Amino acid sequence: MHTRTLGQGLKVSAIGLGCMAMAPGFYNPAPERQAMVRLIRDAHRMGVTFFDTAEVYGPFISEEIVGEALAPIRNEVVLASKFGFGYNGSSVTGRNSQPAHIKARVEGMLGRLRTDRIDLYLLHWRGSVAPT
């Protein structure tokens, strides 16, 4: 698989896997969790090293699936996740990109992703996901 460099040295596969549709509520009914874990691992076996998710997908479900799938191969992949929303439990309450909120969100993300780092941490684009 061809690679690309993001920023100053983050080397990723030319094709990445976006994991939004692995959670219920985005364009599809809830896929079977273990099928999504297998899909992620199969993508890696085929050379994909870049995986993208966000806490708002599910909310939280996509990160849990990605974390489960990538835990055994975490050091072989680049993981991106996104922030920018406030929550009441698992309900999105609106946008929130205040520094204190971001710091608080990271801890939960690290746990769900089963990792000690997020390689690429992004603010969700304005208007990308409507609060429910």
Active-site option among 27, 57, 87, 121: 57
Inter-residue contact 114 to 68 (CB < 8 Å):
yes
Alpha carbon distance 44, 13 (integer Å): 10
Alpha carbon distance 49, 1 (integer Å): 9
Sequence length of the chain is: 132
Dihedral over alpha carbons 66, 111, 59, 87 (to 10 degrees): -160
Bridge partners, residue 17, by sequence: 51
Alpha carbon distance 85, 103 (integer Å): 13
Tell me if residue 121 is catalytic: no
Bridge partners, residue 82, by sequence: 122
Catalytic center residues: 57
